[in-house]
Amino acid sequence: MPFHISEIKKAQPGDLTEIASVSTVCYQGDCEQNAGGLAHSRGDGGWVYANELRWGIPLKVEDAFLVRNLEIDSPKQ
């Protein structure tokens, strides 16, 4: 389930770090392997979100959840 974007936007400077993910993210068929992500530590482990600030789409939640492929039916912004 997407994380509410307002929570990500509340992050303090330095709380989010740009990283390469292990996910393939596609925008209307235009795909990027190891797409950029935003790493955020929530105090209990690492979370990685798609580097897409219109939505808070998690790509990785600690060791419990990992997105391999993500299809977004919208142009990249």
Give the tens place of pLDDT for each residue, 3-29.
566 666 666 666 778 899 999 999 999
CA 46 to centroid of chain Cα atoms? 12
Quote the mean pLDDT of the chain. 82
pLDDT in tens, 25-75: 999 999 999 999 988 765 555 788 898 878 778 899 888 899 999 999 999
Please state the pTM of the whole predicted model: 0.77
As to burial, measured by CB atoms within 10 angstroms (0-12 exposed, 13-18 middle, 19+ buried), residue 30 is exposed
